[in-house]
Amino acid sequence: MIQLATSEGLRTLGRVERDPLAGFDTTTLVAGGGALWALTRNRRIWRIAGGAAEQLARVDGAIAWCLLWHAGALWVGTDEAGLLRLAGERLERVTGFDRAPGRERWEQPVRRPATTWTLASDGARLYVNVHVGGILRSDDGGASFTPTIDLADDVHEVNVGADGRLWAATGEKGLAESRDHGASWTHHARGLHAPYLSSAVPTDDGVLVVASSGYAAEDDSVYRFDGRSFARSAGLPERFGAFLGARQLAAHGSRAAVADAAGHLHVSEDAGRSWTVAAEGLPAVRAIVIE
């Protein structure tokens, strides 16, 4: 099943169902704990199950950007490099993250405060991607955090493959790979037209990335990494003509999906080797979940 968070609510590919978030700008969406979890207008957190949506919490005093189900709880990343955890209907600040080593050096360009941009989990470990602050790893449920990648790599998305390998989309060095939970990294850029990556998503046979010449550039292109080099695949535009950010590309097993600014959803059933248009006329797609 492919679920979409859009500027007008939720969409399920191939189904016509009542939308429990109709009219809400749904800024991100994740699955976990037997439900879907949605963030609307970067503030309100909803649990969606059985076709119904229940608002559980509201983020006050910050803008929320990402959600993750990890260790039986929902985790929320915010601006000002914040990390929250939902306990029942109460959001609690993860104070261990506030004490993370190197925090004083986290800062976006033009001296803007850092933002907790993406989150990932391998089941045992939590990975927090700060823009710009690298990737922090917690092995103890958020009590403490360890820095991993070099801050200068400017990470835009972190994900974990089914084999436990860690993948990161970086702004200057292409795709970063770690086989030891972030202790060391290898960078890959061969075959890309530019090394600025905004997304990196593992499949069961390779990794899909979005590459462009820089932030807000209009030369975004999707590539497939086979372990050696990158190549474009059949069925996708050579250039998307608009910036594709984290969460607008998703994969599960051999199935993948990517949304474009023209309202098309492109789907692959072979780990990104080939693509077809599966839906048209969509509102702006903010995030994709494949289950």
pLDDT in tens, 76-99: 999 999 999 998 889 999 999 999
Mean residue pLDDT of the chain comes to 96
pLDDT above 90: residue 64: yes
Q: What is the pLDDT of residue 111?
A: 81
Give the domains, in start order, of the chain with CATH numbers. Answer: 148-291 (2.130.10.10)
Q: What is the pLDDT of residue 88?
A: 86
Per residue in 243-262, pLDDT tens?
Answer: 899 999 999 999 999 999 88
Token pair of 70 as six digits? 């990890």
Q: What is the pLDDT of residue 216?
A: 85
φ/ψ (deg, to 5) at 85: -135, 135
pLDDT above 90: residue 162: yes
Per residue in 32-41, pLDDT tens?
Answer: 999 999 999 9
Q: What do you get for the CA distance between the two ends of the chain, in Å?
A: 5
Average pLDDT over residues 235-241: 91
Q: Are 264 and 258 in contact (CB under 8 A)?
A: no
Task: Give the Cα separation of 85 and 110 in Å (integer).
Answer: 29
Q: What is the pLDDT of residue 177?
A: 98
Q: What is the pLDDT of residue 161?
A: 98
- Which amino acid does the sequence have at 183? A
Average pLDDT over residues 173-197: 98
Q: What is the pLDDT of residue 110?
A: 80
Residue whose pair of structure tokens reads 């989990």 in the numeric block:
121
β-sheet with 26-32: strand ranges across: 26-32, 35-40, 44-49, 52-58
Q: What is the 3-state secondary structure (H, E, C) of 232-286?
A: CCECCCCCCCCCCCCCCEEEECCEEEEECCCCCEEEECCCCCECEEEECCCCCEE
pTM: 0.97
Per DSSP, the residues of 127-183 read EEEEETTEEEEESSTTS--EE-S-GGG-EEEEEE-TTS-EEEEESSS-EEEESSTTS
Per residue in 143-152, pLDDT tens?
Answer: 999 999 998 8
Q: What is the pLDDT of residue 264?
A: 95
